[in-house]
Amino acid sequence: MTTLIEPRPETPNISSLVQHDRVHTSLYNDPALFAQEMDKIFNKTWVWVAHESDIKGPGDYISTYVGLQPVIVVRDRKKQVHVLLNRCRHRAATVCEKKKGRTNSFVCPYHGWGYGLDGSLRGVPMNEGYAESFDKAEYGLVSLRVETYAGLIFATFNEDAPSLSDFLGDAKPWIDLFMKQGGGFPVKFGGEHKFKFPGNWKIQLENTTDAYHFPVVHKSFLQSLDDQAEELFSFLDGDGYVQDLGNGHSVMVMIPELVDLDENLDDPIPERFQDLAASLSKKHTEEEVRKIIRAVGGSGFNVNLFPNLACSMAFFRVLRPVSVTETEIRHVTLLMDGGPEEGNRARLRLHEHFQGPMGFGSPDDAEAWERVQRGSQAGPDMWIMLNRGLEGDGAGPKGTNRGDVSAETGMRAAYQKWKEMMEASQ
């Protein structure tokens, strides 16, 4: 007899798919693995949702996602931040469709159930139609656990997850260094480029810890720079490195002299910032000018936080898995809150130079990632190789894995965390 319904695919044996120096091609294109990733990674660990400056005042909110699930990030009147599932407890309609704004409450458009900024159910039209036992306290918007570090707001569905501080661990000092690019001012959200590419989210996860591609993919960007800047961005033959920071996180230092922006303030001001420095000098002391100029250029490293955020040189790279073969990327630009207008304009123009659908860098990255997804259809039993810089494993401080700047150390770190989480029992 002919079997009309295909048997369910066997649950893949995770441990056989991730080896130390390679991962199996199915990690890019198996829908069953993608479903498990959403469940075992995005619904289990800390996922970055917003920067504090996105929701500065009471009632300020943004709508975003944790994995595939739409959420609202909102600050209540007592300044506390809540991350709420964007789903009415009655019949599931979203209670917010605006990307950002300020409000007193969230009201479902379908039957008018109204929720407070903390997610509690406040109003139900024609309440008398429900039984006496109906208790509004049981029908608040589902609220996630929220913790914050250095202005970065994370949420998780997992009440048993370690503290955010423990989760970030050795990445914390690097986040602190990254936030120095406020140039003495707080860092604030300054707009974003958002795009989708037809490929798996882990292709993007790998990219922010991949310096090896830079001179190849970004040759046309490098050619658009002046000689001094081109030299700065030609970092593959420099002293940079990639280090495993634990928990799937890693740091890639591309330009070591731009690790701590408070240092080397006496260095000559680069040619491309001379005009800006002259303009800033009218209102600022020489030390302030040097600090702002260093900040405008951004940091010289990427901190990759598993699974969805990278603090990347001068911006946040945020990834959102959409399906096994589709990913949304946001490149969030950061400005000096209260800083000089011309300094912030310079940061905006630098961001536009590289990022976005018309940038000199991102479209070439996107082309490479799309080609990875297309190519991975060939040789379904082949491996994605991550064996660059293996000799650095165990060679870093305290026996950590640390390779040269082009090493694939950060990718190996992320995939080991992936394997650990995917193998965990529910």
Footprint of other proteins (CB under 8 A): 99, 190-197, 217, 219-221, 223-224, 328, 333, 341, 344-345, 348-349, 351-353, 356-358, 360, 362-364, 366-368
Smallest gap from residue 217 Cβ to other proteins (A): 7
Q: Which residue has the tokens 């230092």?
A: 253
Q: Measure the CA–CA gap between 45 and 16, rounded to whole angstroms.
A: 23
Output 191 or 380, the one with its CB closest to other proteins. 191
At 257 the three-state DSSP class reads helix
Smallest gap from residue 174 Cβ to other proteins (A): 25
**Which is nearest to 63 in space by CA: 158, 233, 55?**
55
Smallest gap from residue 357 Cβ to other proteins (A): 4
Output 141 or 276, the one with its CB closest to other proteins. 276
Residues 29, 32, 34, 37: is their CA dihedral positive or negative? negative
Q: Measure the CA–CA gap between 292 and 279, rounded to whole angstroms.
A: 12
Kindly tell me the burial class for residue 103, based on how many C-beta atoms sit within 10 Å of its own C-beta (0-12, 13-18, 19 or more).
middle
Output 184 or 215, the one with its CB closest to other proteins. 215
Output 77 or 196, the one with its CB closest to other proteins. 196
Output 356 or 392, the one with its CB closest to other proteins. 356
Smallest gap from residue 223 Cβ to other proteins (A): 6
Output 139 or 233, the one with its CB closest to other proteins. 233
Our measurement of the distance from residue 317's CA atom to the centroid of its chain's CA atoms, rounded to an integer in Å, reads 5
Question: 10 Å Cβ neighbour count for 95?
Answer: 24
Count of H-run helices and E-run strands, the chain: 14, 21
Q: Measure the CA–CA gap between 225 and 354, rounded to whole angstroms.
A: 11
The CA-based angle 403-404-407, given to 5 degrees, is 70
Smallest gap from residue 322 Cβ to other proteins (A): 10
Given the DSSP bridges, would you call strands 315-323 and 47-51 parallel, antiparallel or unpaired?
unpaired
**Which is nearest to 320 in space by CA: 40, 42, 7?**
42
Output 160 or 341, the one with its CB closest to other proteins. 341
Output 79 or 283, the one with its CB closest to other proteins. 283
Smallest gap from residue 194 Cβ to other proteins (A): 4
Smallest gap from residue 218 Cβ to other proteins (A): 9
Smallest gap from residue 359 Cβ to other proteins (A): 8
Smallest gap from residue 192 Cβ to other proteins (A): 7
Smallest gap from residue 324 Cβ to other proteins (A): 18
SS (H, E, C) 317-348: EEEEEEECCEEEEEEEEEEECCCCHHHHHHHH
Output 20 or 374, the one with its CB closest to other proteins. 374
Q: Measure the CA–CA gap between 331 and 336, rounded to whole angstroms.
A: 17
Residues 373, 379, 381, 383: is their CA dihedral positive or negative? negative
Question: 10 Å Cβ neighbour count for 130?
Answer: 11
Output 243 or 327, the one with its CB closest to other proteins. 327
Smallest gap from residue 191 Cβ to other proteins (A): 3
Q: Measure the CA–CA gap between 404 and 187, rounded to whole angstroms.
A: 30
Output 153 or 329, the one with its CB closest to other proteins. 329
415 half-sphere exposure, CB direction, 13 A CA radius = 28
